[in-house]
Amino acid sequence: MGLFSGKKSEVESKYYVLTLESNISDIELNISKGIYVKPMSLYEKDTSIYGKIYDSFGFGSKGNSFIQKNVFDKNLLIEKEKVSIITENSSLMGKVSGLSGQGNLELYINNITSIQFKEGTPTQNGYISFVFMGKQDTGTGWLDSLQKGKDPYQVYFPKSSNKVFNHVKNYIDSIIISNNSNKGQVVQQVDSTLQLEKLHELKEKGIITEEEFQEKKKSLLDKL
């Protein structure tokens, strides 16, 4: 269990909440209910002597600093057709986000073109960010964020939850790949239909014979 696990919020009670022990099967089996991913609850405190030394210098698990822990202001909700980025209003960074006009965001998975992803390290948090057509170019690191602005579609997470967020990424990637494949099939079907109409027109005009038309028609249908 994570360091900050306790009484569930209303949102956590409504959806299936991922834990450090969760895997991709848990996501697939519970997606109809909705998958809630809360980075702060996936933060593990190091109770070893080294962890206590880190704490004495203002650091936490695996060397994560207090500042880094406070960027866990955004949670992720995954549903069948969309993902939502939910601001944690109770956190310091969440309150700042609220004051700056950044609220909860929804993004349909069909509109996601790719995912930017980086695992967390002992000194830096990882992140997952969703890319879509028309999205403004923003930074992923601290320096980029200062220069280009904070990415509202980015969720940070600690090193301890790398595996969990890898499952999240792989699940959404699989949907994106499947959707792109289906789009390609639809385009191919439309293209074949137009070619059939053209062939029929050529046959009616006597440019090709009935035998040639049937041969070309069979060839096009076999490709579908």
Specify the pTM.
0.64
- Place 145 in a pLDDT band, splitting at 50, 70 and 90: very low
53 CB-contact burial (10 Å; exposed 0-12 / middle 13-18 / buried 19+):
exposed
The CA-atom distances, in angstroms, between 60 and each of 55, 156, 186 are 5, 16, 51
> Does the pLDDT value for residue 40 go beyond 70?
yes
Tokens of 47: 């109770």
Q: Which of 121-130, 190-199, 204-213 has the highest mean pLDDT?
A: 121-130
Per-residue pLDDT at 103 exceeds 70 = no
Q: 162: closest CA among 31, 22, 65?
A: 22
Check: CB of residue 18 under 8 Å from CB of residue 35: yes
